[in-house]
Structures are given as structure tokens and as C-alpha cells.
Chain A
Amino acid sequence: MSTTPDLSVEFAGIPLRNPVLTASGTFGYGVELEPFLDLRRLGGFVAKSLTLEPRHGNPPPRIAETPAGMLNAISLENVGVEAFIEEKLPAVPDGVPVIASVFGTEIELYAEVCKRLTGVPKVAGLEINASCPHVKAGGIEFGQSPDALGRLVRACRQATTLPLVVKLSPNVTSIAEMARVCEGEGASGIAAINTVQALEVDVETRRPMLSNGLGGLSGPAIRPVALRMVWQCAQAVSIPICGVGGISTGEDAVAFLLCGATAIQVGTASYLNPAAAGEVADGIAAYCERHGVASVRELIGALEHS
């Protein structure tokens, strides 16, 4: 006898129909994937990171394939917060929680965008993308300095009443320390991880594969790294964690839940299969049925180890 498992979770104060969100920058502004996927099959989605003003990214080539992964250097390209609110959000179907992702080159710019998004219908929460180079600090990512990260989270926390998720950069020595800083400054949750800084070279031309030189690695290649970091964050803080990195199946997602994640995000997998996030949700349900798990919440942090 099997009953339909309960997939609902609450992440950072946001009730989700299931733990599956989509990762920022891999799902456009939501509606691009509508021909392939009913958004109501997902817990919600995280939109492309927004800056105060619209921005162009890097010149091509911006992407390169690597073993079981890809590198990207799109940089800051986005429509800007106003166009997102005026043009993109209205097209999102009702009942789908939208988490808006925020970034900027200065703390004040992040805070401005947070303010602008607060109170906007359909926006259920904010995700702070801390992987942006901090111009005043010579280009080091906010998420790479505990001090800069702390000041960033404090300013954003003061700028909004919405649930505030901080998305951590994996390009650090101790992700646990960064998670603790966020918890200390009042963040409602953690998302981990953003792309892993990497380099690929074309030996024929002796040049980097990307115009930008360095890029961010994503896809199945980074999944064990992301899993390790989620597990370390879960050991360090009591705010909920959203696992991101290389997830393309229900089993991948379950691994993150077992390591302590409350929700997960599907990223690069949507490029190869625009229905991937829906299939991950179905895969989690199938896992629960197979293992007699009545509620997906039983899986959170249930990793057995000695």
C-alpha cells in the first residue's frame, strides 16, 4: 500500500509545494521554459540576478563545455530590476513563489534593489548573490571576505522585510565560517553553492576558452563539492539551507536533503533538458514511495554516518 508522499517543505519562511527550485541564471525570468514545463510543478523559481540598472555581460565566447560540466562568464547581464517588475513578473503564473536574486558592485546598490523588490506581488523572498566582485575592495567577491559578507547581509537585512537567502560562493577556505556570518547577521537561509572558479584552455590557439579568461564551473562535475559544502554549512548553522550544484535527478536532490538541505535548486540541467526541474520533483516523489517515506521532511539531515 502506498500513499502519495508529502513533498511540501518550508524554506526560509517560504512554504513550498515541493523542495525543487530553479537556480538563478539557469531559468531566465521564468516564462522562457513554459513551453516545456508547467511552473506549478515546482516549489518555485529563482530568477536571474538583478542589478539596479540593466547591464550587458562579457563579449563572446561566454561558455565552454568541460568534462561533465560547463564554464560560463556571462557576468552581470540582466534586464535590471525595473524591467523585471514591469515586464517579466506579470507573465509568471499565480501561485508560483518567485525568489528574486539580487546583486551589485557596491553594498548600497544591493540594498537599493532589495528595497525596490520588497512588497512587489509574487516576490516571496530575496536571494543575495554574494559572488559578485566588490569593486571598492579591488574585485574580491563579497562572499570571499567574512567582513564584506557580514556588512552586505546586514545592509540587505535592513533594506527588506522579505525572507532573505544568502547564496554563498564556494571559492573560499571555510564555507562554514561564511554561513555563520550570514546567520549572525539575520539571514533567513543559505543557498550553496554558486559556480566554482575555473579555467579551460584551447591548446591549439594557446588561449583561454572564454573571452574573460576565468569562468564559473557548473554541472554534474561540481556536485560532490556542493554536497560537501552543504553538509558543512548544515553542521555550522541552524537556518535552513538550499542545495545547489550539479543536480539533475531526484536521487541527486535526495543526496542534498540527506546532507541537511531543506530545498534544492536545479541549474545547468535545465539547459540540456528544459523539463529537468519537473523531473527532479517527480524523482524525489518516486524515491519517497520506493523507500516508504511519508514526508520528504524526514529526509532532511538524515545522512547516516559514524
Chain B
Amino acid sequence: MSDAVTPAAPQRCVLRVRSNEPERGCIRLVLEAPDSWPAAAPGQFVMIHLSGTGVARHDPLLPRPMAAFRLTGEGSTEPDGTRCLEVLYKVVGRGTALLAECQPGDSLALVGPLGVPFPMPQPGEEAVLVGGGTGIASLFELARTLRDAGAPLRVLLGARSQDDLMALADFEALGVPLELATDDGSAGHHGLVTAPLEPWLGAGSPLRIYACGPTPMMVAVAELAEKAGHPCHLSLENRMACGFGICLGCAVRSRGDALHLVCRDGPVFDAKELDLGALP
């Protein structure tokens, strides 16, 4: 399980919306993916632009980065076997509010899959996946891939409250060990994800930590992992304009004061490479 999946070459493609329905904690966008649409490796993302119909749309101008949550139909979980790309998102601003208005039959322009995927654990390591907020979506393919390979893993998901826990049913259906934490105590541990995480880190067995979520959560997880001597990978959710390395808009600072592009050198980074204090 030590090799990272080699990512497919990205494409630009117009995909038809099959459904776009609210559910617990998010909206599930289901897009019909032609056979030519490449499968994403765990941790990769797509850029979604609200103009697939051929009519130029200048506002909002830029596409939005979203994790490629999963591709259904290939292993066939969709009843009629259609290959579909699923994206789970929360409405946080104008772009996502307009995305929420998309109807079945509408088209969206996508570029992807993009970015460097999560590296797989080394033999003998247990994977610990820590997700918060919209970052939960970035971890699902990793969890599924590890489970399918029979690799040991645990998942820890955090949110403000029970109603904000996106993709909970999907993780439950995987049948992997799952812990929850909510700020208001409505599900799982009452408080931050770091509380249940801490005792695991000190248990002595080799772990590899994967985290995606709000910056304070990722910084806290990375600091605990470093103290306990476990490798830790963070998946960043920065603002982006292009998503494929040409605008230089998504740069973050490394510990060596160099700059990394989140879209091209990430979004997954070894936590040790990053200047955690300078994350946006």
C-alpha cells in the first residue's frame, strides 16, 4: 500500500447535472461523467464553473475548487450503472449559492482531476483520517481506497453539530471504524476532534495522519502529530483562480520560506513542509 496512485491527465469537460439535492450537512451534486472523464485519485479535486451551456457567464467569473467526492457507476453503486461524479458542498458564498440553484439537466464546465493525491501509508502503519467541515469530502476516496485494500484505518469526523456532518452515511456504509466530535455535543464527543485524537497518537503504534478541514483544526492536528512523531498530511482548501498552476494565486509559504502552489504542489502537503502559522 505504499505507492501513491498515479493521477490521470486532467481534462476540461462539460458534465450534465443529474441531481443537486440538499441532505444532511451539504448539497450532493451528481454529475453524469462520460467514460472519457478520468477517475480522480484520493485527495484530487476539480474546478467547477457555472457555464457549461455555451453561453458565456462572467459573474461569478472564476471556477470553484471542490473535492472529487467519488465516482459511482464503475464499481456500480448507481442502480442503472451510469457513471457519475459526486461532489458534496456547503453554501458559504455567492458561487456556492448559485451552484445550489442548478437543476437536473443543466450543464457545468469542469476541469480535473487536479492536484497531488494523498500518499498511501507505509506497510505497518495505521491510517488516521481527520475531517472537519467541507474537508470531510476530501477524505472519502482515501477511506474507500484503504478499506478496499484491506489497510488498517480509522476515521474521525468533526462538525459544529450533528446536522452539519456531511457524508456521515457514506462513511458509515464503508463499515470503517468511525468516531465523531461536535462543538455542541449533539453527536459523538463534545468538543474538538483533537480530544479523541490525542490518546490514539500516544498509543505507541505507527500511525499516518491525514487531515482536511478548517485551518485551526488542521494546525492543531499537525502539531499533535508532530509532537507524537507521526507523519501527517494536510489537504488545504485555499482560494484559487485557475487550479492548474498558472495564476500563482494560491501560493502558501513553506517552512523554508519558499512558496508552494496549493493547486499544483498540493492540495495535499506534508505538514512539516508548511509554515503552519502563515496558512490563510
A residues near B (Cβ < 8 Å) are 25-28, 32-33, 35-36, 56-57, 59-70, 72, 74, 77, 219-221, 248-249, 268, 270-275
Can you give 7 contacting A-B residue pairs, CB < 8 Å? A28-B245, A28-B246, A67-B59, A249-B56, A271-B63, A272-B49, A272-B62
7 new A-B contacts at CB < 8 Å, known A36-B12, A271-B241: A33-B246, A35-B11, A57-B248, A60-B238, A271-B246, A273-B111, A274-B111
| Cβ contact of B280, chosen from A36, A60, A65, A221, cutoff 8 A | A60
Neighbouring A residues of B241 by C-beta, 8 Å: 63, 70, 72, 268, 271
Bound form: Cα–Cα A221–B60 in Å:
12
- Given contacts A68-B61, A219-B61, A274-B12, whether A57 and B56 have CB atoms under 8 Å apart is no
For the residues of A in contact with B, the DSSP-based class is loop
Q: Which residue of A lies closest to B252 (CB)?
A: A60
| Given the contacts A59-B278, A60-B280, A77 and B259 also touching, CB distance less than 8 Å | yes
Cα-based distance from A25 to B245 in the complex (angstroms)? 11
Interface residues in B, total, Cβ within 8 A: 34
- Identify B251's interface contact among A33, A60, A249, CB under 8 A: A60
Question: With an 8 A cutoff between CB atoms, is B269 at the interface?
Answer: no
- Closest B residue to A249 by CB, please name it: B56
Query: B227 in the interface, Cβ–Cβ < 8 Å?
Result: no
How far does the alpha carbon of A67 sit from the alpha carbon of B60 in the complex, in Å? Answer: 7
Determine the main DSSP class of B at the interface with A.
loop
B8's nearest neighbour on chain A, judged by CB, is A35
Q: Which of B58, B63, B258 has the most CB of A within 10 A?
A: B58
CA distance in complex: A66, B244 (Å): 21
Q: Which residues of B have CB within 8 Å of A26?
A: 246-247
User: Are A61 and B280 also in contact (CB < 8 A) when A68-B61, A272-B49 are?
Assistant: yes
Cα–Cα, bound, A221→B280 (Å): 27
Q: Say whether A27 contacts B246, CB under 8 Å.
A: yes
Q: Is the CB of B60 within 8 A of A65?
A: yes
**B contact residues around A219 at 8 Å (CB):** 58, 61
- B255 contacts the other chain (CB 8 A): no
Report yes or no: A271 in contact with B62, Cβ–Cβ below 8 A: yes
